[in-house]
């Protein structure tokens, strides 16, 4: 087993027992996509919901919509079967409440909504999720099986 680290606005792919890890998801969202039969999976750590028309192409993985497209294409090129890919989503917490008007700036909820819509467009079922709230999460994803272990900033542990 090798460990593969995914940074912010980043995406990585592994296979078999590779463990793909991202740290401190707050309002960002982690999208783990995998094909158990092909034993391949990847994780996206996206910051914002949508890539605008003037966005830099180098920032594809910064955005939920374009990052999911990128991850999907990479998985398919590496042998994942269309129709066999599944997803788990983590993060999307409401971490920022500093707007002077009293409204919460809830990028996390927008990220979750965009992830769900983008996955539906590709016909990818979401088999599990741990989203929302106001806590950070670290994610450990086994590429070949789709198992996701989560540790919160309060040191709670979950498996989804």
State residue 53's pLDDT score.
77
Q: Which of 28, 29, 44, 148 is catalytic?
A: 28
The pTM of this model reads 0.93
- Give the start-to-end residue ranges of the domains of the chain: 3-159
Q: Which of 66, 31, 29 is nearest to 51 (CA)?
A: 66
- 28 is annotated as an active-site residue: yes
Q: Would you state the pLDDT for residue 104?
A: 56
Helix axes 64-77, 107-121, angle to 10 degrees: 40
| CATH T-level fold of 3-159 | 60s Ribosomal Protein L30; Chain: A; (3.30.1330)
One digit per residue, the tens of pLDDT, for the chain of length 160 reads: 899 999 999 999 999 999 999 999 999 999 999 999 999 999 999 999 999 877 777 799 999 999 999 999 999 999 999 999 999 999 999 976 555 555 556 899 999 999 999 999 999 999 999 999 999 999 999 999 999 999 999 999 999 9
Please state, in angstroms and rounded to a whole number, the distance separating the CA atoms of residues 149 and 151.
Answer: 7
Instruction: Output the pLDDT for position 108.
Output: 95
Of 88, 90, 84, 85, residue with least CA distance to 28: 90
Give the per-residue pLDDT at 80. 98
Residue found by looking up tokens 């002077």 in the block:
100
The whole-number pLDDT of residue 105 equals 67
């Amino acid at each position: 087993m090798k460990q593969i680290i995914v940074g912010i606005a980043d995406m990585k792919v592994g296979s078999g027992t590779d463990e793909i890890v991202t740290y401190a998801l707050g309002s960002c969202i982690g999208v783990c996509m995998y094909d158990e039969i092909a034993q391949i999976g990847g994780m996206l750590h996206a910051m914002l919901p949508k890539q605008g028309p003037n966005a830099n192409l180098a920032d594809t993985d910064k955005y939920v919509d374009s990052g999911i497209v990128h991850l999907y294409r990479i998985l398919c090129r590496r042998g994942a079967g269309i129709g066999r890919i599944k997803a788990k989503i983590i993060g999307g917490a409401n971490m920022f409440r500093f707007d002077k008007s009293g409204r919460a700036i809830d990028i996390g909820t927008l990220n979750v909504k965009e992830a769900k819509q983008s996955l539906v467009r590709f016909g990818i079922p979401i088999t599990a999720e741990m989203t929302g709230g106001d806590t950070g999460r670290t994610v450990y994803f086994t590429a070949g099986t789709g198992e996701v272990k989560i540790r919160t900033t309060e040191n709670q542990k979950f498996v989804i």
